[in-house]
A and B are shown apart, each in its own frame.
Chain A
Amino acid sequence: MSSVLEQIEQQIERLQTGTVTKNVGTIRTVADGVAICDGLSDVMYNEMVEFPGGVIGVALNLTEDDVGCVVLGDVSNLKEGDEVKTTGRLLSVPVGKPLLGRVVDALGAPVDGKGPIEAKETYPVERIAPGIIVRKSVSQPLFTGIMAIDSMIPIGRGQRELIIGDRGTGKTTITVDTIINQAKINRVGLASGDPDFRPVYSVYVAVGQKNSNIVRTVAALEAAGALEYTVIVAAPAADNPANQYLAPYSGAAIGEWFMENGMDALIVYDDLSKHAVAYRQISLILKRPSGREAFPGDVFYLHSRLLERAARLDGKGSLTALPIIETLAGDVSAYIPTNVISITDGQIFLETDLFNQGIRPAVSVGLSVSRVGSAAQIKATKQVGGKLKGELAQFRELAAFAQFGSDLDAKTKAQLDRGNRIVELFKQPAFNPIPIELQAATLWAMQKGYYDELPLNKVMPAAISLREFFTTRKDELLAAIRTKAALDADLEAQLKTACDEWKSGFGAEG
């Protein structure tokens, strides 16, 4: 009992006994998650304010007569006349490795029921993006594990690559595959003991999604063993618009911790269309002037300041961003899509038509681009996949022409046939990322004509069979490709031997 009394006395002594000063205001109105307050004469823009009951808000509208605060919590207990006080702090979230494997809300509080997060540091949610001098150009690849992307639209660490398409075209699947692939690479790399290996940690920000979708994504990551390298920031559709507005910035702060501590991170914003809608709702409630499509005038700045925080830093790490935008009826010339396209370093465009034809991932090679390009590709991929984009472009032109004519010369037929085979080869089931060395082997076999004699519907099973063969019997060759990252004469000879061996076996089975 005496020790309990000592503890209480120590706590009382630690209390500040001097005069406490605070700046306060009074709630005038509270509705739709926004509180309009009188007073708060010393409040600053984006400052955290505290309502009764420990409810937190952010001051977003500073006018001559009042202060508009978005409430980041339960508004049901707030009423007119309640006191609100400034805190002198900006909104911050916990950051660090203790967040890996956890699902948190927009303020960094855990929502997965696995207990408190023992984070030692916090980062402000809103931060200024790195300047020009501290950046380094993007030259390290970030492998998504999706052959169509890694070979023709390569992504580098520190790049911003937009994933854009209509609903149900596989946007989230691409990002989940990428996260799973990073986890696979991390496991192999960390097990190898290579001191130069840099794992990639992932942050998945779910904005305005259904809770069931978030649960499904978490389950997919957990099943693939990727959750231990991932932080999930959840601001579902049931959350108030303020949390949906802040969640991407909180995720960026979490990712920046890895970047500034010499590590590489990947952040997925799923999706920024709903983020813009949430921001529009807040702005309209705050009576800010509305512009095109009722969005506020600074909706571009909303996304530009977010995406500029993804970078590769000189002497430190990198943060790669994969923002997602949902289009309506494939309209990439709409307001928000064009905004984000102009900010990012490329886009992966997914088409509904391709998806319905069974081409999944439904990547439109013609409309997709990576502005970083081959600078983010290893030499092996460049060797085997360098001309693919051009071949597919020719194929698309010929295919449009060929549907009208019946008499085609042999060369045209061969090009069409080759194009069809490439399209078949790039089909890939969901949640099944392919390691880069296997991609190189698959594409090398295609370039050397190992699939040419097969019927079109056998190309994909053949590729799967080839990859299984290499995985089970040619592990050393794959390791060599992974290590050297280029196909020299010796590796090509080994590949030829291995492919011949596979083909004889596949031919016997087929």
Chain B
Amino acid sequence: MASSKKTSALARQLFKLSLENGRLSEERVGGVLAWVEKHRPASSLAVLRAYRHLVEAELNRNRAVIEYAGDVASSVFAAIAAAMSRRFDRPIEAAPVARPDLIAGLRVQVGCDIFENTVAGRLAALNTVS
């Protein structure tokens, strides 16, 4: 169900309060949740859902999900995280995920941006080439 404008506005306000120096603070998130628990604002379930959505997006923004197939050294993951941090000008941590269906290569997702160089991706592109 779509949030109402007030619900979205409250969720956004709570999200802003969860940031410390521009980054999500676990302590502050806990404080927000405690506040919601105590004061039970109108449509608190919808507020929490919208808040969760914003927190999840923020976590994804600061995380590089590195999907890989085959053997990849951990130093590679660290290098990728460093490269992404330089590119996006903010600290980004690596989150490696093994995906054998990619056959070979790497697929890095930071928020909405995907950088892919995998055999599976090239095969999929081959299917769409006219």
Pair A19/B112 contact, Cβ less than 8 Å: no
Pair B116/A19 contact, Cβ less than 8 Å: yes
B1-43 CB mask vs A (1 if < 8 Å, else 0) is 0100000100010000000000000000000000000000000
Pair A39/B129 contact, Cβ less than 8 Å: no
In the complex, chain A residues whose CB is within 8 Å of the CB of B122: 15, 17
- Which of B53, B109, B112, B116 counts the most A-chain CB atoms under 10 A from its CB? B112
Pair A41/B117 contact, Cβ less than 8 Å: no
Q: How far is the CB of B32 from chain A (nearest CB, A)?
A: 18
Main secondary structure of the interface of A (DSSP, over half): mixed
Apart from A38-B53, A39-B112, what are 20 other A-B pairs with CB-CB below 8 Å?
A11-B126, A11-B129, A15-B125, A15-B126, A19-B115, A19-B117, A20-B114, A20-B117, A20-B121, A20-B125, A22-B113, A22-B116, A23-B113, A24-B114, A39-B111, A41-B111, A42-B112, A54-B128, A64-B12, A65-B8
Is the CB of B57 closer than 8 A to any CB of chain A?
Answer: yes
Is the CB of A29 closer than 8 A to any CB of chain B?
Answer: yes
Nearest opposing residue in chain B for A85, CB measure: B114
B residues contacting A by CB (< 8 A) are 2, 8, 12, 53, 57, 109, 111-117, 121-122, 125-126, 128-129
| Contact among A14, A23, A29, A54 with B2 in the assembled complex (CB-CB below 8 Å) | A29
Pair B2/A18 contact, Cβ less than 8 Å: no
Nearest opposing residue in chain B for A26, CB measure: B112
In the complex, chain A residues whose CB is within 8 Å of the CB of B117: 18-20
Pair B113/A21 contact, Cβ less than 8 Å: yes
Q: How far is the CB of B72 from chain A (nearest CB, A)?
A: 15
How many pairs of residues, A versus B, come closer than 8 Å at their CB atoms? 49
Q: How far is the CB of B26 from chain A (nearest CB, A)?
A: 23
Is the CB of A324 closer than 8 A to any CB of chain B?
Answer: no
| Contact among B114, B126, B129 with A22 in the assembled complex (CB-CB below 8 Å) | B114
Bound Cα distance A15, B122 (Å): 8
Q: Interface residues of A, CB < 8 Å — how many?
A: 23
Bound Cα distance A350, B115 (Å): 60
Q: How far is the CB of A291 from chain B (nearest CB, A)?
A: 19
Is the CB of A385 closer than 8 A to any CB of chain B?
Answer: no
Is the CB of A40 closer than 8 A to any CB of chain B?
Answer: yes
A residues contacting B by CB (< 8 A) are 11-12, 14-25, 29, 38-42, 54, 64-65
Q: How far is the CB of A234 from chain B (nearest CB, A)?
A: 25
Nearest opposing residue in chain A for B113, CB measure: A23
In the complex, chain B residues whose CB is within 8 Å of the CB of A38: 53, 57
Nearest opposing residue in chain B for A63, CB measure: B8
Bound Cα distance A23, B111 (Å): 9
Pair A15/B129 contact, Cβ less than 8 Å: yes
Known: A29-B2, A38-B57, A65-B8. A16 touches B125 (CB 8 A): yes
Pair A12/B115 contact, Cβ less than 8 Å: no
In the complex, chain B residues whose CB is within 8 Å of the CB of A11: 126, 129
In the complex, chain B residues whose CB is within 8 Å of the CB of A65: 8
Q: How far is the CB of B119 from chain A (nearest CB, A)?
A: 11
Pair B113/A41 contact, Cβ less than 8 Å: yes
Q: How far is the CB of B1 from chain A (nearest CB, A)?
A: 10
Q: How far is the CB of B58 from chain A (nearest CB, A)?
A: 12
Known: A12-B126, A15-B126, A16-B125. A21 touches B115 (CB 8 A): yes
Bound Cα distance A94, B72 (Å): 46
Nearest opposing residue in chain A for B3, CB measure: A65
Bound Cα distance A196, B61 (Å): 63
In the complex, chain B residues whose CB is within 8 Å of the CB of A17: 122
In the complex, chain B residues whose CB is within 8 Å of the CB of A12: 126
In the complex, chain A residues whose CB is within 8 Å of the CB of B121: 20
Bound Cα distance A16, B57 (Å): 30
Bound Cα distance A54, B128 (Å): 9
Pair A41/B112 contact, Cβ less than 8 Å: yes
Q: How far is the CB of B90 from chain A (nearest CB, A)?
A: 14
Nearest opposing residue in chain A for B1, CB measure: A29
Pair A40/B112 contact, Cβ less than 8 Å: yes
Bound Cα distance A54, B57 (Å): 26
Bound Cα distance A25, B114 (Å): 10
Nearest opposing residue in chain B for A287, CB measure: B2
Pair A20/B116 contact, Cβ less than 8 Å: yes
Bound Cα distance A41, B114 (Å): 12
In the complex, chain B residues whose CB is within 8 Å of the CB of A15: 122, 125-126, 129
In the complex, chain A residues whose CB is within 8 Å of the CB of B111: 39, 41
In the complex, chain B residues whose CB is within 8 Å of the CB of A54: 128
Nearest opposing residue in chain A for B125, CB measure: A15
Bound Cα distance A20, B116 (Å): 5
In the complex, chain A residues whose CB is within 8 Å of the CB of B112: 23-25, 39-42
In the complex, chain B residues whose CB is within 8 Å of the CB of A16: 125
Bound Cα distance A14, B130 (Å): 12
Q: How far is the CB of A65 from chain B (nearest CB, A)?
A: 7
In the complex, chain A residues whose CB is within 8 Å of the CB of B115: 19-21
Nearest opposing residue in chain A for B8, CB measure: A65
Q: How far is the CB of A275 from chain B (nearest CB, A)?
A: 28
Nearest opposing residue in chain A for B57, CB measure: A38
Q: How far is the CB of A107 from chain B (nearest CB, A)?
A: 16
